[in-house]
Amino acid sequence: MITTYNRQQIEQFLVQEQTVLQECVNLLHRKIPLSDWPDNVRAAFLLALQAGEGREAYKAFSTARHLRLHRRFPDQYLPGKPTPLQRRCAERLRANLSKLVKLGAGSYLET
């Protein structure tokens, strides 16, 4: 099934993705515990770290490595069934987060 979107909808999607990306960067910079993150940002972040298939799996691995995350997060943090917005935001995080935060920016999440 092909879904068609108009230009305004696509622009809105991009704004939503950018907002989640920027909020994630800010939370990492401020070293806010994952449990205190807004649900939508936490869900996109955790989805971004889950191994997918092919190129997305490599991006997830690279992002986790850049953040210095070496463990799985408890299942209570994982969203049930991801929404399309959460999936799009996760892809945006995989593609851009490493460029926007310092090496090891997520290491505080290990505690």
Rg (CA), the chain: 14
Q: pTM surpassing 0.75? A: yes
User: Above 80 in pLDDT, residue 33?
Assistant: yes
Pick from 59-63, 73-77, 81-85, 89-93 the range whose average pLDDT is largest. Answer: 89-93
pLDDT at 24: 98
Alpha-carbon span 96 to 75, nearest angstrom: 25
Residue predicted with more confidence, 108 or 97: 97
pLDDT at 44: 92
Give the mean pLDDT of the chain: 86
To the nearest whole percent, how much of the chain has pLDDT over 70? 86
Q: What is the mean pLDDT of residues 15-32?
A: 97
The CA distances from residue 11 to 2, 17, 32, in Å, are 19, 10, 29
pLDDT at 10: 87
